[in-house]
Structure 1
Amino acid sequence: MKLKKSAGILLYKTVRGQLLVLLVHPAGTFWKNKDEGHWSIPKVEFSDNENAFDAAIREFEEETGTHLEGHFMALSPVKLKSDKVVYAWALEKYILMLLK
């Protein structure tokens, strides 16, 4: 069985001493009213032919319409219960998100 991998961006900002993070929820009728435990950083599965960081940046821009630049911090990969491995980079930045 081939190991599934995802890559994403953890966007955060400290405002008046409080840490804020950007999380997203899957769309579609299957996910309607299923909030608990289903919020995550914006991420995407990527293949062995693709650079994880490039995939994460591309997905963030596709999902939010915002191109990110700055000093990204690589985080330690996390293995989920599903055996998927998530690679992530953190970036301190404030962006105004408009809900569709």
Structure 2
Amino acid sequence: MTVKRSAGLLLFRTSQGHLEVLIAHMGGPLWASRDTGAWSVPKGEYGPDETPEAAARREFVEELGLPAPDGEKVPLGEARQANGKIVTVWAVEGDLDPAAIVPGTFTMEWPRGSGVSRDFPEVDRVAWFTPQEAAPRLVAGQQAFLERLETYLRER
């Protein structure tokens, strides 16, 4: 069995002396009424012909419709999600206005079994949160990236 891999960028900033991270609420009807565990680092899958870092930059653009930020990419390593997917993330310091996103879309049958295909945004909103606010919102398998970012910032 082939393990699926995703890569993403975790944007961070300091606002009024507090660390904040930008995370994205997953789009589509399956996530619409959920908050806890329904947010993610902007990320996506990649195949053997693409490097994880290139995929992270591409997916940032695809999911948010904005260019991936330039700047030092801090490797936060890998984490395995509950579904077995391995996610690799880099942190990048920068700023972004959540109102400026233009998310990409995906198509799925909805309602299930109806035979009707509909388009939905990949993410329906993004927001800045402190790591403590972001942790319960993030997919459990991605929470480790918040801890790693905080450790990196304390030690630099």
Q: Are 1:86 and 2:83 counterparts? A: no
Q: Is the 8 A contact 1:3 1:84 kept in 2?
A: yes
Higher relative contact order (CA 8 A, sep 6+): 1
| TM-score, normalised by the number of residues in structure 2 | 0.60
Quick one: distance in 1 between partners of 2:22 and 2:12?
6
What does residue 75 of structure 1 align with? 76
RMSD: 1.4
Identity %: 38
More strand by share: 2
Unaligned runs of 5+ in 1: none
What does residue 58 of structure 2 align with? 58
| TM-score, normalised by the number of residues in structure 1 | 0.91
Larger radius of gyration: 2
1:26 offset after TM fit, Å?
1.2
More helix by share: 2
1:49 offset after TM fit, Å?
1.5
Quick one: distance in 2 between partners of 1:96 and 1:31?
23
1:63 offset after TM fit, Å?
2.0
What does residue 25 of structure 1 align with? 25
The letter for the 2-side match of 1:22 is L
What does residue 41 of structure 2 align with? 41
1:66 offset after TM fit, Å?
2.1
1:79 offset after TM fit, Å?
1.3
What count of residue pairs does the alignment treat as equivalent? Answer: 100
